[in-house]
C-alpha cells in the first residue's frame, strides 16, 4: 500500500475524529488541524496542529508540507452569524 500523508481539518469534531481513525487504520500518516487541544487524537497516533484555519497556516508550513490529500471537515455550524464568519471557515 502506498504511504499517504493526510491532513484533516476539524479532526477534533465528530466526523473529523472518525475520519482520522479510519485513515490511521489504513496505515496513512494523519495530521489534524483544529482550534482546540484534542489529546484523544494524539493518543491514537495523529499529529496535531493547533490553529484557526481562517487565520492562515503559514507558520505551520513545515508540518503540513508534503501532504498528499486534505480532508476539510472543519466548519462553522451555528444557525446565526455574520456571512463572513461562515465564509472564512467553510469556503
Q: Let me know: does 31 contact 5? Beta carbons within 8 Å.
A: yes
Site of grid cell 508550513: 61
Burial class for 6, CB neighbours closer than 10 Å (0-12, 13-18, 19+): buried
Looking at residue 35, its pLDDT comes to 86
Looking at residue 26, its pLDDT comes to 96
For 58, the enclosing helix (H) or strand (E) is none
- Tell me, what CATH number does 15's domain have? 3.40.50.720
Residue ranges of the chain whose pLDDT lies below 50 = none
Looking at residue 53, its pLDDT comes to 76
- Name the residue range of residue 66's domain: 5-90
Domains of the chain: total? 1
Cell triple for residue 7? 491532513
Beta carbons within 8 Å of 1's beta carbon, 6+ residues apart: 26, 27
Amino acid at each position: 500500500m502506498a504511504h499517504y500523508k493526510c491532513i484533516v481539518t476539524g479532526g477534533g469534531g465528530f466526523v473529523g475524529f472518525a475520519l482520522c481513525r479510519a485513515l490511521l487504520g489504513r496505515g496513512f500518516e494523519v495530521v489534524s488541524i483544529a482550534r482546540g487541544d484534542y489529546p484523544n487524537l494524539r493518543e491514537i497516533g495523529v499529529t496535531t496542529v493547533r490553529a484557526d484555519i481562517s487565520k492562515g497556516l503559514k507558520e505551520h508550513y513545515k508540518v503540513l508540507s508534503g501532504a498528499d490529500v486534505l480532508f476539510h471537515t472543519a466548519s462553522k455550524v451555528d444557525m446565526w452569524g455574520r456571512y463572513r464568519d461562515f465564509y472564512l471557515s467553510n469556503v
